[in-house]
Amino acid sequence: ETGVTQSPTHLIKTRGQQVTLRCSSQSGHNTVSWYQQALGQGPQFIFQYYREEENGRGNFPPRFSGLQFPNYSSELNVNALELDDSALYLCASSLGDRENYGYTFGSGTRLTVV
Amino acid sequence: AQSVSQHNHHVILSEAASLELGCNYSYGGTVNLFWYVQYPGQHLQLLLKYFSGDPLVKGIKGFEAEFIKSKFSFNLRKPSVQWSDTAEYFCAVTSPSGTYKYIFGTGTRLKVLA
């Protein structure tokens, strides 16, 4: 098992800029979910991709968007960054779009917006 | 809307003390329940999960949790903690009816004193 790999590990951006975060899912996993974990909070669901299609979305504005590629890796894009977007962004992969299969989390990308 | 409450935000224990972390959820239907642990600098790892059957669930590293449906609770327990259990613990819930996203609690930060 290679686990879930996220890049970069840390990032500093200026308010108004755009950012792309990347995630390589665990080998054999076809589902990727993204979560935002603000300081002192639990992770909040952003969206999930299953076989390259968005398969559910949390309460995040459209400036949060994503992609899943044929190799099941994924990107999270955030446009027009705001200070409140500063958080740890977690990617989780699984085999199938039901949690019964079990999710594997990456270590996250810590985004700081200044 | 579903929510998860973890009432203990910070817990400090001495080694060999017993641990119980509270978790309550608000959802009237069938749920799947999880406890995750995040060691310092590491990714979220699954400790244990409950889908159905025996309400007393045993997980890794000597942890267990009891699902009490009437109390909407899924408390995590360990009879004797070790210094290496120092970590943040998250309770999470999903609905098996199709909302494949985790709803996480805000987490409990456990510090075990050697």
Instruction: Read off the pLDDT band of A55 (50, 70, 90).
Output: confident
Tens-digit pLDDT profile for residues B58-111: 999 999 999 999 999 999 999 999 999 999 999 999 876 555 688 899 999 999
Looking at the complex, report in whole angstroms how far the Cα of residue A40 sits from the nearest Cα belonging to chain B. 7
d(CA A16, CA B45): 34
Q: What is the pLDDT confidence band of residue A62, given thresholds at 50, 70 and 90?
A: very high
* pLDDT at res. B51: 87
pLDDT digits (tens, 9 = 90+) for B7-35: 889 999 999 999 999 999 998 778 889 99
> Is A70 near chain B, with CB under 8 Å?
no
Contacts of A48 in chain B (CB under 8 A): 100-101
DSSP state letters, A15-82: TT--EEEEEEPPTT--EEEEEEE-TTS--EEEEEEETTEEEEE-S--TTEEEEE-TTS-EEEEE-S--
How sure is the predictor about A99, in pLDDT bands with cuts at 50, 70 and 90?
A: low
More confident residue, A114 or A94: A114
Place of tokens 């310092």: B40
Distances (CA, A) of B11 to A4, B33, B65, B89: 30, 22, 17, 11
Q: Which residue of A has its CA nearest to B47?
A: A102
Percent of chain A with pLDDT over 90: 70
Cβ <8 Å between A106 and B104: no
Q: Hunting for tokens 């929510």 — which residue is that?
A: B3
How confident is the prediction for chain A on average, in pLDDT? 91
pLDDT at A97: 60
Give every CB contact of residue B112 below 8 A, 6+ residues apart in sequence. B12, B13, B14, B15, B17, B81, B82, B83, B84, B85, B86
Q: Per-residue pLDDT averaged across B51-57, rounded?
A: 92
A90 touching chain B per CB within 8 A: yes
pLDDT at A81: 98
Residue of A nearest to B104 (CA): A42
Place of tokens 């819930």: B93
Return the pLDDT at A33: 92
Q: Answer yes or no: is pLDDT of B53 > 60.
A: yes
* CB neighbours of residue B47 within 10 Å: 22
Q: Which residues contact A69 (CB under 8 A, 6 or more apart)?
A: A52, A75
Residue located via tokens 């817990």: B11
Closest CA–CA distance from residue A82 to any residue of chain B (Å) = 22
